[in-house]
């Protein structure tokens, strides 16, 4: 059941609180890197779930724009490349900047996300970046999933769940993970402390 009836009920205060919560979540996750610093962060965000509705049920462009603004800002301040996961209608492709596509040798796909096909968050990130392109898939260093968008498919092996201080954004549950290199060796192998 929806906790909010219409987009008009998303108050400025609600939207600002959601954007602030995402900024805090990103900053905390970046501080929780394991062996290597986080250089590439994937974020999937259902604005429907954030607003208290079923995933994919409605578009909330103003909410998506505020969340995207927070993500783009915090990632830029920390020198982290952002990958914004699109919804299932674009096969969970990712909005990245052209230099990220080239640096990580990603396969480009052609589409332009819009709130109704791609999602409000991903389409806002697309509109906020200088050279936005879509990548088919990615292997990110860490991820944040807002509202059950299943970003795990875009994380490197081995994903390690991280419980953040921000457990919800709006009405959506937040799940986060960092990655670490796989351990190799056997019972006699030693590993560095983290």
Q: What is the arithmetic mean of pLDDT over 166-173? A: 97
Q: Which pLDDT tens digit goes with each residue over 9-68? A: 799 999 999 999 999 999 999 999 988 999 999 999 999 999 999 999 999 999 999 999
pLDDT of residue 188: 76
Q: Which of 129, 112, 113, 131 is nearest to 121 (CA)?
A: 113
Q: What is the arithmetic mean of pLDDT over 153-165? A: 96
Q: What angle do CA 84, 121, 69 make, to 5 degrees?
A: 90
Range in 10-24, 81-95, 150-164, 176-190 the model is least confident about:
176-190
| Chain position carrying tokens 């799940």 | 175
Determine contact, residues 194/49, Cβ cutoff 8 Å.
no
How many whole angstroms separate alpha carbon 34 and alpha carbon 188? 22
Q: Cβ-count burial of 13 within 10 angstroms (0-12 exposed, 13-18 middle, 19+ buried)?
A: exposed
Q: DSSP readout, 8-39?
A: GGS-HHHHHHHHHHHHHHHHHHHHT--SS---
pLDDT of residue 5: 47
How many whole angstroms separate alpha carbon 33 and alpha carbon 160? 10
Percent of the chain with pLDDT over 70: 95
Domain ranges of the chain: 12-179
- Whether 7 has a pLDDT exceeding 80, the answer reads no
**CATH superfamily label, 12-179:** Hypothetical protein TT1679 (3.40.50.10360)
- pLDDT confidence band for 105 (50 / 70 / 90): very high
């Amino acid at each position: 059941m929806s906790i909010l009836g219409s987009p008009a009920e998303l108050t400025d205060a609600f939207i600002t609180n959601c954007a602030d919560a995402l900024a805090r979540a990103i900053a905390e996750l970046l501080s929780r890197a394991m062996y290597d610093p986080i250089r590439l962060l994937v974020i999937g965000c259902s604005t429907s779930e954030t607003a208290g509705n079923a995933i994919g049920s409605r578009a909330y462009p103003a909410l998506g724009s505020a969340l995207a603004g927070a993500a783009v800002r915090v990632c830029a301040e920390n020198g982290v490349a952002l990958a914004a996961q699109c919804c299932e209608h674009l096969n969970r492709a990712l909005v990245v900047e052209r230099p990220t596509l080239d640096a990580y040798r990603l396969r480009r796909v052609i589409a332009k996300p819009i709130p109704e096909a791609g999602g409000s968050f991903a389409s806002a990130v697309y509109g906020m970046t200088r050279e936005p392109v879509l990548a088919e898939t990615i292997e990110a260093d860490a991820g944040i999933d807002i509202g059950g968008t299943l970003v795990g498919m875009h994380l490197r092996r081995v994903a390690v769940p991280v419980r953040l201080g921000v457990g919800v954004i709006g009405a959506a549950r937040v799940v986060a993970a960092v990655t670490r290199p796989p351990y190799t060796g056997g019972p006699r192998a030693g590993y560095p402390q983290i």
